[in-house]
Structure 1
Amino acid sequence: MIHRPSGRPITRRDALRTMGCGFGYLSLASMVGQSLARAASATPTERAPWMITDKPKAKNVIFLFMNGGMSQIDSFDYKPALEKYHGQPMPGGDLAHERKTGNIMKSPFAFKKYGQSGIEVSEIFPHLGECVDDMCIVKSVYTEIPNHEPALEMMNTGANFSGRPSMGAWITYGLGSLNQNLPGFVVLCPDVPTTVGPPLWSSAFLSPVHQGTYVSDAVDKSEFDPQKLISNIHNERFDLNAQRKELDLVKQLNQLNMGQSQVHDPQLEATIGSMETAYRMQTEAPDVFDVRKESEATLKLYGEGSTARGCLTAARLIERGVRMVQVYYAKGDPWDHHFDIEMHRKTGHDSDQPFAALIKDLKSRGLYDETIIVAGSEFGRTPVVEVGSGFMGGQTHNGRDHNPHGFTMWIAGGGFKRGFTYGATDDFGWKAIENPVHVHDIHATILHQLGIDHQKLTYHYSGRDYRLTDLYGNVVHDLIA
């Protein structure tokens, strides 16, 4: 017989009342919400109110994040005017920006036309150049703030500050999970990424079950062994049956606590769900994260390095039903090349082959059409040279400052147009002037392809309804095939 802390035994009525309070939170599946489970089954009368179709174009998202700020004019936005006016002052005077800047600086990288579409791509992305006929390149993305932290928050959560749910959290909230043995949202990076970190994949005021699960994809750390890659994935002291009994006991105690307090405790519910997920991951995660099971040809396709490892793992996770995977390049701001834009050769080389391999591999797995691959940074870079800053001693160098006014992102798969460019910056690549696309518009369009109306996917919190796109955002139908 189970006793209360006071020693008085629990009656049958107490037990039924207590268990009834906690049953809705026994597993990850129930915590994603009844409407989310209905969204997966998708019948017109049962689907969630934010679903716009029973047959969305896409089911999953892979976000390739080049944190730090990839230069649009050194990658996909070729500007002949930079060569013509190299070394001359910018028309209209010095750009008022975060750091002191100088004259116009041409790209040190050669551009080449690729594919039937004839899209011009920098030499730092030769493998992606071969894939341009599968890519939708948006050259007119913009945001508001030129600092890493708020720009990263905007790109990941739709707000310029911490405390809002991430895109991955909104997607799992809206669509639920396709595999109860794995998290719905996974974040891959060699180390905790960026200067912001966990708030970029937070669930904020949504249930904690929707937050991203961070896993290191560091090759030297994991040695491709999932048991070293994922902490505590294997218990040498207790087998699965023993762990199941222990988990059931802890779960029962938590249920009793919730029943006695009569208080809705989302943190406790999330803890129960996390333990359930962790238990289930022991059977499936070691397999899905073990890329050694791929063929030699596939491993060669992706190449070497953590970004290659992350992209290949992302394909395997999507294949197993994970809703969203985000692959960061590395911790800090590795694409933030204030000092010398030539450093893009290194980051570009590390990313180019894996990104292109992901497109090709998803095609071979039959997942390309139902997976949205989106790639970009929190902002772009200036067309003028940066002329020193405090920590660089005030000396002229060949770097570029931050530029939120007009930069490039590319999208592939998921029903987006192929071999297509959209929007334009001015002659120098400074500001979006043709078909400007705000980050909110990118989010709205991704949700649309997942079958979600971004204006209806809301959560009532602190007196009002919140959504990923806040009060803004439009679906860019021109990007959709």
Structure 2
Amino acid sequence: MTIRLSRRTALQSVSAGFGYLAFAGLSSMANAKPPQSNEHPLSPKTPHFPASAKRVIFLCMTGAPSHVDTFDYKPQLTTDHGKSGQYGGKLLGSQWDFKQRGESGLWISDLFPSVSAHADELCLIRSMHCDQPVHPAAQTQMHTGTSQFVRPSIGAWTLYGLGTENDSMPGFISLSAAAGQSQSYGSAFLPAIYGGTPINAVARRGGGGRMGGGSVVPDIANPRFTPKQQRQQLDLIQSLNQEKLRREEHQPGVEGIIESYELAFRMQDTMPELMDLSGESEATLRMYGADGGDTQRFGRQCLLARRFVESGVRFVEINHGGWDHHTNLSTDLPNRCNEIDKPIAGLLNDLKQRDMLKDTLVIWGGEFGRTPAAQNGDGRDHNNKGYTTWMAGGGVKGGFSYGATDEHGYAAVQDKCHIHDWHATILNLLGLDHEQLTYRYAGRDFRLTDVHGNVANAIIA
């Protein structure tokens, strides 16, 4: 029997078919499951190849430090002070002297006298560049590889790739995370258990993990119940969550809640103990500058970072703000450097004394740099074309300078290191191939470096 269709009927049928295809595609995406494992998601995992770094401490300088006043020596900029810059404005030579430091002779500013003493441990990357000249977008790209979409942070990728060595602590901790920058420690489409735990206060010595009468980690303990009662309460809640999983199969949100509740229960004993500095000696507190003054806050955060990674935490980020120097460069930049100089030197020294620097990667840097030309007379504008970050320990070459900007420090010109290359190199030091570290989501495999990134092999010892 021959069936005759009008043109209108045929078009209606075809268009409905397109809808069915789209619906089928969406359904398959919604039902897609990530790779399953019988192990706990935070269990230690074998890296892709032997790693030189086991853990990371990222010292994030929010606001973008001026590279030409700190770690990128530009004598020609000083010589040309007051002349018209290539891209407008009057060139502003650095007000601070640079000297060659250590046996390696790295040029470092007088603004960092204590860090300079560790010059032979530092690997300066003086050819950084990124795509974004504004703070929020550049911060997001520095942490996630992109500023256009919500993606997992580098700390979350690290934890996803390697797991953690302490199941009673978060594997990723962010100290003093910047307001409005939750993407910097978020897990995005990775399971929630890989996201960072933000801690926005620091315990005082002898404080038992508390400061100013409030827990440094909100709701870390429930004073109304004994541990046994809390366990019974949690078991009831978890049984309900497990029943929901049984009925509805893959539910990332529910799985994340189950795992986070269990971790929070275990943290009640471990976290306050780690954040109580009463067991640290006066000499240690002095070494970090954690015993008072302008260095106290950052010093205690650096000391906490050492305690965290020593306990098995995989990735710790410390955020330090106030580096956005459009004005008051001459007075405010020295203050910011003073707040972190002694604490960072103390951290490097302490890690080295404990034989931990060799496999702890310490990273310092901001979202971009500053212009060689003056702004508002005593300031510098944003500059994403060329700036400096540095690494220490974790298998990088110490006393080494990689890449270069032009003679005035405006743009990277030699061995350019894009933020994707920076991420690829960090993962490589951790034994992770940035092209293999992927997670399947919405029908495609995602990675920290997207479809970019080359490892800067020259900095690896």
Structure-to-structure mapping, 1:57-76, within 5 angstroms? 57-76=52-71
Q: How many residues align?
A: 416
Amino acid at match of 2:184: L
Give the C-alpha shift of residue 218 in structure 1.
4.2
Distance in 1 (alpha carbons) for counterparts of 2:432 and 2:384: 27
Q: Is the CA contact (8 Å cut-off) linking 1:114 and 1:130 kept in structure 2?
A: yes
Amino acid at match of 2:350: D
Distance in 1 (alpha carbons) for counterparts of 2:264 and 2:369: 38
Kindly indicate whether residue 18 of structure 2 is the aligned counterpart of residue 31 of structure 1.
Answer: no
> In the alignment, what sits opposite 2:435?
455
Give the C-alpha shift of residue 452 in structure 1.
0.6
Q: Is the CA contact (8 Å cut-off) linking 1:66 and 1:335 kept in structure 2?
A: yes
Q: Is the CA contact (8 Å cut-off) linking 1:219 and 1:306 kept in structure 2?
A: no
> In the alignment, what sits opposite 2:277?
291
Unaligned residue ranges in structure 1 (runs of 5+): 1-23, 43-50, 95-101, 387-395
Distance 1:438-1:145 versus aligned 2 partners, 3 A rule: same
Q: Is the CA contact (8 Å cut-off) linking 2:140 and 2:181 kept in structure 1?
A: no
Distance in 1 (alpha carbons) for counterparts of 2:208 and 2:95: 40
Q: Is the CA contact (8 Å cut-off) linking 1:56 and 1:451 kept in structure 2?
A: yes
Amino acid at match of 2:254: L
> In the alignment, what sits opposite 1:341?
329
Q: Is the CA contact (8 Å cut-off) linking 1:25 and 1:272 kept in structure 2?
A: no
SS in 1 for 2:156: helix
Structure-to-structure mapping, 1:271-286, within 5 angstroms? 271-286=257-272
CA RMSD of aligned residues (A): 1.8
SS in 2 for 1:369: helix
Give the C-alpha shift of residue 56 in structure 1.
1.3
Amino acid at match of 2:142: M
Kindly indicate whether residue 461 of structure 2 is the aligned counterpart of residue 478 of structure 1.
Answer: no
Q: Is the CA contact (8 Å cut-off) linking 1:414 and 1:449 kept in structure 2?
A: yes
Q: Is the CA contact (8 Å cut-off) linking 2:167 and 2:263 kept in structure 1?
A: yes
> In the alignment, what sits opposite 1:364?
353
SS in 1 for 2:458: helix
Structure-to-structure mapping, 1:3-82, within 5 angstroms? 30-32=40-42, 37=44, 39=45, 42=46, 51-53=47-49, 55-82=50-77
Distance 1:421-1:352 versus aligned 2 partners, 3 A rule: same
SS in 1 for 2:394: coil
Q: Is the CA contact (8 Å cut-off) linking 1:403 and 1:430 kept in structure 2?
A: yes
Kindly indicate whether residue 366 of structure 2 is the aligned counterpart of residue 377 of structure 1.
Answer: yes
Residue 214 of structure 1, aligned match among 160, 183, 198: 198
Kindly indicate whether residue 448 of structure 2 is the aligned counterpart of residue 465 of structure 1.
Answer: no
Amino acid at match of 2:75: P
> In the alignment, what sits opposite 2:420?
440
Distance in 2 (alpha carbons) for counterparts of 1:279 and 1:290: 18
Give the C-alpha shift of residue 427 in structure 1.
0.5
Distance in 2 (alpha carbons) for counterparts of 1:143 and 1:224: 41
Q: Is the CA contact (8 Å cut-off) linking 1:302 and 1:308 kept in structure 2?
A: yes
Distance in 1 (alpha carbons) for counterparts of 2:289 and 2:175: 17
Distance in 1 (alpha carbons) for counterparts of 2:297 and 2:415: 35
- Deviation readout 1:169-226 (Å, 9 max, x if unpaired): 001111112110000100001xx415x4211111000001100000123468x98441
Q: Is the CA contact (8 Å cut-off) linking 1:25 and 1:273 kept in structure 2?
A: no
Distance 1:340-1:436 versus aligned 2 partners, 3 A rule: same
Distance in 2 (alpha carbons) for counterparts of 1:362 and 1:64: 15
Amino acid at match of 2:319: Y
- Deviation readout 1:220-259 (Å, 9 max, x if unpaired): 8x98441332222232221211111111111111111222
SS in 2 for 1:140: strand
> In the alignment, what sits opposite 1:415?
395
Structure-to-structure mapping, 1:57-456, within 5 angstroms? 57-91=52-86, 93-94=87-88, 102-189=89-176, 192-194=177-179, 196-218=180-202, 224-227=207-210, 228-260=215-247, 262-304=248-290, 305-330=296-321, 334-342=322-330, 343-386=332-375, 396-456=376-436
Distance 1:109-1:224 versus aligned 2 partners, 3 A rule: farther
> In the alignment, what sits opposite 2:31?
none
Distance in 1 (alpha carbons) for counterparts of 2:195 and 2:425: 22
Relative to the length of structure 1, the TM-score reads 0.83
The alignment-based identity, stated in percent, is: 41
Give the C-alpha shift of residue 25 in structure 1.
10
Distance in 2 (alpha carbons) for counterparts of 1:349 and 1:340: 15
Give the C-alpha shift of residue 52 in structure 1.
2.9
Distance in 1 (alpha carbons) for counterparts of 2:37 and 2:418: 38
Distance in 1 (alpha carbons) for counterparts of 2:356 and 2:276: 19
SS in 2 for 1:155: helix
- Deviation readout 1:31-71 (Å, 9 max, x if unpaired): 34xxx65x2xx4xxxxxxxx432x31111011000010011
Give the C-alpha shift of residue 292 in structure 1.
2.3
